[in-house]
Structure 1
Amino acid sequence: MEMPAVTALALLFVGVFTFVTAEQKNITAESGQDVTLPCRAPNNNTIVVEWRRADLDEYVLLYRDEGSVLEEQHPSFMNRVDLQDRQMKDGDVSLILKNVTVNDAGTYECHVVQREPSPKKRLINNKPICIMDVRVVDPPGQTGGDTEDGGKEDGGKEAGGKEDGGKEAGSVGLIVCLLVSAVLLVAAVVVFLIYRKHKQQSQDPYQPPVEMQPV
């Protein structure tokens, strides 16, 4: 009599607490998009859906079969999250996250509470049935993708123009410098020659005129 009782208790335990191994999936979204985190419960008897993010204490979304529960919802997700199908048909408990930003990146987990055929039993899944690792990136062009390329291209042209102008100005300056140097050199030579001639003249001894002797 004891063995059947133990067996029945074991079957009851297995029937009430059923754990589903969740496979972690990676989702990459662009900033500003609406993103769906797909998740499906094992059957159609879901009465409570709980979406959480691992690094937050508050809920991302807490949904009962009669509607959303806003208490303890994280403020950043207010009016930005919803179930893909509020009727949760075919166990669909996928989460829609609207207008994502880089601050929405993180690991999301979905937990469910399900009703068993017996009205006094509820299937409580303590482990997440879905784990989503969400990564949010900026779309091309928003942080300077095309604009940055264009800017680089225009900037390159502008830099090239400045560089050519700088080279031209440098060439003109070099020519002017050479001309000034040449003029100064010529002037120095002229001054030196004048000085030398003047010095030679000043150093010549005075020679009196030769007197003619009578024959």
Structure 2
Amino acid sequence: MSAVTASLCSTLMFVLFVSADQKIIKAESGQNVTLTCRAPNNNIRVLEWSRADLGSEYVLLYRDEHFLMDNQHPSFKNRVDLQDRQMKDGDVSLILKNVAINDTGTYECRVFMEETWQWQSINSTNLHVVPPGFNADMKYDLGPESVPCAIK
């Protein structure tokens, strides 16, 4: 392999770091997905579902039995709901309807507890959305012919 060819070749590697308590969900686009989250009790003043890459916008903000839409990211409008709006037994799970590839990301569930008057991060969920019919667990061997920099 010449120096020119070697300089044109690069390796692309994806590394995903996931903490032990982080959940991973794989879904096909078009499906409805439930991101589970359970708070320690029912004394929840505010519930927030967010995704770090959205900046100051959020996926869902729920306070006093109402959804607050002011800073909700536009891609989530009319596509999110709570599994239980009464949040019985601390169930604050999020239903994300008609997922798309752009919904891929790490979602964080946080609650503002009445008794402590502090935010508490409950969990985070990594959602990976793939096109319909694509098996996210399948490994593909394209062979050396499809790799332009392979040494033959």
TM normalised by structure 1 equals 0.51
Look up the SS of the partner of 2:89 in the other structure.
Answer: helix
Q: Deviation at 1:55?
A: 0.7
Q: How does 1:26-45 map to 2 (within 5 A)?
A: 26-45=24-43
Distance 2:53 2:101 in 1: 14
Pick aligned residue for 2:53 from 30, 51, 55: 55
Q: Which amino acid aligns with 1:123?
A: W
Distance 1:113 1:75 in 2: 24
Q: Which amino acid aligns with 2:83?
A: Q
May I ask how many residue pairs the two structures share in their alignment?
Answer: 114
Q: Which residue of 2 aligns with 1:144?
A: none
1:136 aligns with 2:129: yes
Look up the SS of the partner of 1:129 in the other structure.
Answer: strand
Q: How does 1:11-90 map to 2 (within 5 A)?
A: 23-57=21-55, 58-90=57-89
| Ranges of 4+ aligned residues in structure 1 off by more than 6 Å | none
Q: Which residue of 2 aligns with 1:203?
A: none
Q: How does 1:94-109 map to 2 (within 5 A)?
A: 94-109=93-108
Look up the SS of the partner of 2:53 in the other structure.
Answer: coil
Look up the SS of the partner of 1:55 in the other structure.
Answer: helix
Q: Structure 1: which 5+ residue stretches go unaligned? A: 1-21, 117-121, 142-215
CA RMSD of aligned residues (A): 1.5
Look up the SS of the partner of 1:59 in the other structure.
Answer: coil
Decide which structure has greater helix share: 1
Distance 1:85 1:53 in 2: 21
List per-residue Cα deviations over 1:158-209 (Å, max 9, x = no partner): xxxxxxxxxxxxxxxxxxxxxxxxxxxxxxxxxxxxxxxxxxxxxxxxxxxx
Q: Which amino acid aligns with 2:93?
A: S
Distance 1:23 1:125 in 2: 18
Q: Which amino acid aligns with 1:124?
A: Q
Rg larger for: 1
Look up the SS of the partner of 1:109 in the other structure.
Answer: strand
TM normalised by structure 2 equals 0.71
Alignment check: 8 A CA contact 2:65 2:86 kept: no
Q: Which residue of 2 aligns with 1:112?
A: 111
Distance 2:64 2:25 in 1: 27
Q: Which residue of 2 aligns with 1:91?
A: 90
Alignment check: 8 A CA contact 2:58 2:71 kept: yes
Q: Which amino acid aligns with 1:131?
A: S
Q: Percent identical across equivalent pairs?
A: 66
Q: Structure 2: which 5+ residue stretches go unaligned? A: 1-19, 135-152
Look up the SS of the partner of 1:62 in the other structure.
Answer: strand
Q: How does 1:178-189 map to 2 (within 5 A)?
A: none
Pick aligned residue for 1:125 from 115, 119, 127: 119
Distance 1:66 1:32 in 2: 28
